[in-house]
Structure 1
Amino acid sequence: MPKKLIPILFRADVSHALGTGNIMRCIAFASGLPKSFSPTFVLRDYPGSDAILPIIHKKGWNIAKLPESLQEEAEISVIKTLVMEINSSLIVVDLVCASVFESPYIIADYCRKLRAIDGLYVISIEDNRLTYFTSHMAIIGNTIYPAYEKRKKSQNCLILEGTKYFICHENVTAYTKKSRIIRRIANRILVFIGGSDVAGVTAYVLAAIQENVVDNNLKIKVILGPTMTRSLRYQIINMAARLQYVELISFTDTIGALLLWADIAIVGEGTIKFEAAIIGTPTLVISQFDHDSKPIRDFISIGCAMHLKFSADLTSSLIFKKTMDLLADYPTRFAMSTAAKKFFDGKAVKRIYHELKKRSLC
């Protein structure tokens, strides 16, 4: 007799403005769970959200679309109905975005309302800048130094905090088992600023290389984010067509092989910097907006990445110089790779699943 599937809801959003970080983390979470789980993704019908649906459909998971302008109370009612229809007792909420930090209790209020749904256990994916949680279980994977954090007294919430709870895709985790070779002669660069790259940093990086490169020994792979605007995507495609050493890669949830291939990665300030760290890829972080928050300061302090702020002061020649200097500096790249591995192991989902089993929730 086949084993009964365990329904689990994932509530996350994706759009041109929000990017893909939240939804991809939920996809990574779902992918790392045993096959006995049956995920349903609940997301708003924001512009750009359709770009991520093929990944979810390909895995055979369910999707419930909410109207873009649906009021929160109506959303809670829809989720309550969905919980009863599929008989789910678990929901993972991953809705932290830039606007949340202007109203830091908005996620706590939302989780409190979900928690009022009879029989529903609420797991929230939180951020190190937040201090108050009302879910049953709060996951804070971007905390680098958990022993030094101060949290407000939360309502019977289990807080799982630290890099060992950073959720990454099983494909990334699989590559931690392979030997990470830091090559002395380096020429491979992976560029992925983010799912949307709202500031257009990718095009700026390509322009910096195009304007300054003196030989074509470089090998560069650029990942096209699925929620990039059409104009930015065309700009990047046109630039790459003139650069024989640049290869464009379609967005994928199997990024581990690309990070292992790269001698260095040029990334944005989102989740990709953690995935590069897990695999031990030396990294140049170019932040679009989050230049000086506690999470990014703590991350850079590990020693696994260099940081440049995307601003009027960041010239193409400086981007090129920092890139080429890092490629040429074997000792620094080796030290970066070694430092990262001390903080990350990619086993977060297994740890979270163990906590759920301890509570007889699966």
Structure 2
Amino acid sequence: MNKKIMIVVYGGFFRGMGHVVRMKRMANELFQEGNDLYFYTNEQVCVEMLSEPQWYVHMVQESMAFLQIKQDIKKLNPDLLLIDVLHCDLQFLRSVKAFSGSARLVLFEEEREEACELADAVVNGIYGGFDEKHLQVHGTEYFYGAPYLLLDHEISRLKDTYEVRKECKKVVISFGGSDPRGLLLKAVSALREAGHLHILAVTGKASRIEEQIEAEHIQFIRHTDQLPARLAEADLAIVAGGMTLYEAVCIGVPSIVLSQVDHQAVTATRFAQKGACHHLGLGDLVDEKDIRCAVERLASSYFLRRSIHLNGRTLIDGKGTERVKNILIHLMNHHQKEHKDV
């Protein structure tokens, strides 16, 4: 009999779409193992991104989420509950835990102790730094570090084939699924006069950017599921400090980073200290001239681009999705689940 897996994931313009993208990747892996999947998400744009014929997608109102999924928990009797929600409401987590019976509960990118103690496992690929760390505390298993990042399954192949070219001709710009601070247009505007470069600007699924800067060397494309492949075609990337940065570093694409928020700045600073990217800081505070200068500096120096490429290659192997899939399968197959007090 197929195992039943319920996934709660939220995204949107202000939250971004990284959570949704990585849970869709995880779902694809779990579906290939013969499991039945049921998504619960908060906005129509997330429904559109998640919709596939092989699983179910339901939209919930965040304030009423538990009441809306309660009956499905009772009806489905799931084997596994995955929750990937930034600052997930603690009462929601407690209610789900109390009502879910023998289902294993797994949280993603969660640091709060009061939330983690409710889970059977916590996967912190982003918050855990570069090194792999696995520990168990009070019945909860923790998986920390870049080895548990849920990256696109194509990343490993692209990592093996990417090469830094002597001449820098193509720049890919991407600031995630929503880009709430409008950094993509700032970066493109900074390169308006860089006619010697081909600029590919990728807007996200939840992006509200309508304006496009017209120039022969600048091309805009709407959301693509093939962003890693686009990155692998680039000689240089300009990205935020989220999942796209991890993908670029893993592939080996020399990158300039404009962080959207403080926690991205922390991530980008860590990479920059390893020589794996060039971090300009919070994008709101960066001038267009600084972006242009950084691009000109890296584009004109094969040595600098190759140095960034080599420094990043050892930090992320791109196999985290497979690792996490195996962890989840092990959890579901482990029938002797100890009861945990809530």
TM range (shorter): 0.7 to 0.9
> Which residue does 1:144 correspond to in 2?
129
C-alpha distance after superposition, 1:180-239 (max 9, x if no partner): 1100101111100121111111111111111x43xx22111111111112xxx221x2x1
Please point out which of 82, 89, 94 is paired with 1:92. Answer: 82
SS of residue paired to 1:221: strand
Q: Match of 1:222, as an amino acid?
A: A
Paired residues of 1:24 and 1:253 also in contact (CA < 8 A): no
> Which residue does 1:190 correspond to in 2?
172
1:252 and 2:224 matched: yes
Please point out which of 153, 158, 181 is paired with 1:175. Answer: 158
* TM-aligned CA distance change 1:69 to 1:246, over 3 Å: same
C-alpha distance after superposition, 1:257-304 (max 9, x if no partner): 101101111011221111111211111110122278544432332321
The 2-side partners of 1:270 and 1:34 are apart by 26
Tell me the CA shift for residue 87 of structure 1: 3.4
Tell me the CA shift for residue 33 of structure 1: 2.8
SS of residue paired to 1:234: coil
Paired residues of 2:252 and 2:310 also in contact (CA < 8 A): yes
Q: Match of 1:39, as an amino acid?
A: L
C-alpha distance after superposition, 1:112-164 (max 9, x if no partner): 4332220111111115x655612111001012245899x9x954110011110
Tell me the CA shift for residue 305 of structure 1: 0.8
* TM-aligned CA distance change 1:330 to 1:245, over 3 Å: same
Tell me the CA shift for residue 173 of structure 1: 3.8
The number of aligned residues is 329
Q: Could you tell which deviates more after superposition, 339-348 or 78-87?
A: 78-87
Q: Could you tell which deviates more after superposition, 81-90 or 285-294?
A: 285-294
1:354 and 2:326 matched: yes
Q: Match of 2:27, as an amino acid?
A: A
Task: Map 1:315-330 to 2 at 5 A.
Answer: 315-330=287-302
SS of residue paired to 2:184: helix
> Which residue does 2:337 correspond to in 1?
none
SS of residue paired to 1:309: strand
1:207 and 2:170 matched: no
SS of residue paired to 2:199: strand
Percent identity between the two aligned chains: 20
1:122 and 2:105 matched: yes
Tell me the CA shift for residue 6 of structure 1: 2.5
Paired residues of 1:32 and 1:170 also in contact (CA < 8 A): no
> Which residue does 2:340 correspond to in 1?
none
Paired residues of 2:187 and 2:288 also in contact (CA < 8 A): yes
> Which residue does 1:66 correspond to in 2?
60
Query: Normalized against structure 1, the TM-score is what?
Result: 0.82
* TM-aligned CA distance change 1:312 to 1:201, over 3 Å: closer
> Which residue does 2:210 correspond to in 1?
234
The 2-side partners of 1:108 and 1:332 are apart by 46
SS of residue paired to 1:22: helix
The 2-side partners of 1:30 and 1:147 are apart by 23
Paired residues of 1:171 and 1:256 also in contact (CA < 8 A): yes
Q: Match of 1:166, as an amino acid?
A: L
Paired residues of 1:29 and 1:169 also in contact (CA < 8 A): no
SS of residue paired to 1:243: coil
SS of residue paired to 1:269: coil
The 2-side partners of 1:323 and 1:228 are apart by 24
Q: Match of 1:234, as an amino acid?
A: E
Please point out which of 21, 30, 35 is paired with 1:24. Answer: 21
